[in-house]
Structure 1
C-alpha cells in the first residue's frame, strides 16, 4: 500500500464514525467471532445501528469459503450474516497486531469473541488485560460450555450440541425412524440471539454503573434453558410426576396434515377454535358430546386420538378448500411451504423483506432485511459484507494510529488490507 493511500485514509478518519442511525447508533463493537453464531449476533447489532468492526485473522472467517460463491472469500453464508460490518485484518499472534487491537479497544464499547477463553489468554487478551485499557468495555465471550463446569474448554459445534441437548433423540421419538439433526444450524442461530441479549443487557447495566463487565454466554446451557421450557414436563416436580419430554410435541401424528391434493399446517387450540372447527365440518354437536375434545385438558390427555381424528378429516378436502374454510372462520392455518415458496411469499413481498442490492464485487444480491421496526430509530442497512481487510487502514486511522505506524503494521504483516476492488478474484 502506498503511503499516499494511507495518508488519504488517515485524513478520512476525521469524518464521523461508521454505523447506522438505529437504536444502537454510537455503539462500537469489535467482533472477533466467526462462522455462524457470533456473526449472526453481531449482524443484528450492526442492523440496529452499531458500528461493527469485524476483526479477522489473515486467513479470514472460514465462512468466507462457503459455497456457492462468485468470488473466492465471499461465500453466500458470509455475505448473509456479515453485512453492515467493516473488516479489519490483524495478526493477533504478533505483538504489534495485539497492540493495535488494544488501541481499537480504547474507543470501543463491546468486544465479542467465540474462541475458547484459554485462546484469549494465550493472546494476552483476557478480561483484565482489556479492561486495563478501557474499563467501560463490555467483554463478551460466547463459549460452548460454561467455565464453571467439567465441559469447560471443550470444542462445541452445532451438530455436537444438537445431540447433547436431545434434538436427534426427540426426532427419533417423534418419527419412529433414525435420529436426525434439525436441517439448519438451530443451536448456532438460537445461541446467537442469546449472545445479542447478553450484549444488550451488559450495555444497559453500564448505563447505570458506568462500568463494563465480563459476560459469558454458554451455548449448551442456554439451549438447555430453551428446550426445557417445554420438555422438562414431569421432571418439573420433585419427586417427578412423569417422564421428561412434552408428549404432545413429540406425538408421531404432530405433523403437516395430508389433504386430498397436498399438505396443510393448521392449528386448532382453544375451545372457541374447536367449536368453530366442528361447525365448519358439519358436526357442531361433537364438541360437547365427545369428551376427548370438550376441554383443553382432555385434548392434551387424548392428543394421539385427536391427531388421528384430524388426519382422517383433512384427507377429505383439498388444501385450497381447507385454507378458505379456515380463513372464513378465523382459524389459524398456513401452507407447507418449500424454501422456494418462502422466497416468493406475498406477505414478505408486502413488507419489503427481501431487497436486491448491488455489491461492489459480487454484483446483484438478494438481501434479507432486519424485520423489527422502530418508529423513531429505524434499523438501517448501509454496507454490503466486506472484503477481507477492506477497512483495516480506515479503522486504525480512526483509532488514532499515525500514518507511520499503520505503514509499519502493514509492512510487518501484523495488519493487512484488501486488494483494490477491481483486482478482487
Structure 2
C-alpha cells in the first residue's frame, strides 16, 4: 500500500469497509477502489456468492469466477464470521479505522449483527455509513429481499422492453445493480465532501427500487408529466426501429438528432431534397414523424457496406460507428488503445482484464490489481489492526478471521 502519491488516485487515504456481495455493492466499492480508496472486502465463510455464480473458475483458482474477478479487482479480502464473537471483535475494530462502511445486507440483518449506523457511529463519529437496500425504509416493501431481476420488473425496465419488442423482458445485464452501485459511490463521495466541512460522518440509504424507477420515469414519463391522459415514452427510443441498422455486410449505429446532423445525413445518402420535407425539416417534425424517419434510414443504409457508410457519414459530421458483437468488441482498437481491456498476468495466462476508463489530471490512478482470493489478506489486515501473532492465530483458528 505504499504507492507514490501520483499513483494513488484522488481517493487516496480513504479506507472503505466493504460488507457487500453479488453485484450492486461490489460495483460501488470497485469505483471507489479504482479511484484510489483502500477497500477491505469482508466475506462470509462461504464467500461472496459471485465466486460461484459468476461463471466457471480456472481449475487452479477455485472461487475466482470471471464475474467475481471483474467486479472485485483492487480490493483486499478477509473472511469474518460476523455471527461469532471473534468476527464481531474484528469488524468493530475495522470500523474504528475506516472512513466508509458499505453494505447491501437487509436492515434486519445489519441490526442483528450490530452494524447499524447508530452502533458504528458511536465507535467512529466520522464514519460514512452507506446501506444499499432493495426498498426505502418506511414503505410497504421495506425489508423485502431484492435482486436485479426483481427491481427490473418492478421499476418498469422490463415494461420498456415490452413496449419495443412485444413482451416483457429483463435487460441482458444486471442493469439496475450497475445504476444503483454507481449512485451509491457518488453518494459516498458527496458524504465525504460534507465530512471535510463538518468533521462528521453520516448515514446514507440508497434504495434500488426508487432509484431505478426514477431512472425509468425521467426517460419515459413523457407527456404524462403534464397530462394525466398523455402518452408514456420517448418515441425516438420506444420505436422498434431504434436499433443498429443493416448494411450490405453487417450493421451500423447512426444518430442524426440535430438539424445539422439530419442535413448531413440527407446529403450523405444523396437525398438533399429531404431537408425541405415537412416531416423532417426540423427536430420537432422529425420527432412527430419518428417512425418515417427511422424507416427511411433503415432502407437507405442497406445500400453500402458498414465501412463505406462510416467513412461517408463522418465526412458530413454525422455520428456513426460500426456495430460490435461481443467477440468483435474484444478487438476494438479504441478499447485496446485506451487500456480498458488488457491482458493480465494472473491465474490463467490467457486472462483478459478490465481497467478504469476515467482519467484525473491531478493524480494518476493506482496500479490495477487482480481480485483477491477468499481471505487472501486476512493476516496482513489483522496485523494492521494491531493484533499480535498470538492473537492473529487465535482469531484465525477460531473462525473469527480467515
Q: If the length of structure 2 is used for normalisation, what is the TM-score?
A: 0.95
1:38 has 2:42 as partner: no
Find the partner of 1:384 among 363, 370, 389.
370
1:113 matched to which residue of 2? Answer: 103
2:208 matched to which residue of 1? Answer: 219
Moved more, 201-210 or 374-383: 374-383
Find the partner of 2:283 among 296, 303, 310.
296
2:182 matched to which residue of 1? Answer: 193
Instruction: Tell me the matched-pair count.
Output: 398
List runs of 5+ in structure 1 lacking aligned partners: 1-14, 417-425
Aligned-residue CA RMSD in angstroms? 1.8
1:99 matched to which residue of 2? Answer: 89
1:53 matched to which residue of 2? Answer: 40
Find the partner of 2:256 among 268, 292, 299.
268
1:236 has 2:225 as partner: yes
CA contact 1:49–1:379 (8 Å) conserved in 2:
yes
CA contact 2:77–2:377 (8 Å) conserved in 1:
yes
Shift in Å, 1:208: 0.7
Whole-Å Cα distance in 2 between the matches of residues 355 and 17 of structure 1?
21
Name the SS of the counterpart of 2:237 in structure 1: coil
1:402 has 2:388 as partner: yes
Shift in Å, 1:18: 11
CA contact 1:18–1:51 (8 Å) conserved in 2:
no
Whole-Å Cα distance in 2 between the matches of residues 115 and 17 of structure 1?
33
1:351 matched to which residue of 2? Answer: 338
Shift in Å, 1:363: 4.4
Shift in Å, 1:72: 1.3
Q: What do residues 225-254 of structure 1 show as CA deviations (whole Å, max 9, x unaligned)?
A: 2222211111212x4361222222111221
Name the SS of the counterpart of 2:272 in structure 1: coil
Whole-Å Cα distance in 2 between the matches of residues 16 and 267 of structure 1?
46
CA contact 1:17–1:51 (8 Å) conserved in 2:
no
Name the SS of the counterpart of 1:414 in structure 2: coil
1:247 matched to which residue of 2? Answer: 235
Name the SS of the counterpart of 1:105 in structure 2: helix
Whole-Å Cα distance in 2 between the matches of residues 320 and 18 of structure 1?
45
Q: What do residues 203-239 of structure 1 show as CA deviations (whole Å, max 9, x unaligned)?
A: 11111110011100111111112222211111212x4
Q: If the length of structure 1 is used for normalisation, what is the TM-score?
A: 0.90
1:419 matched to which residue of 2? Answer: none
Whole-Å Cα distance in 2 between the matches of residues 260 and 165 of structure 1?
39
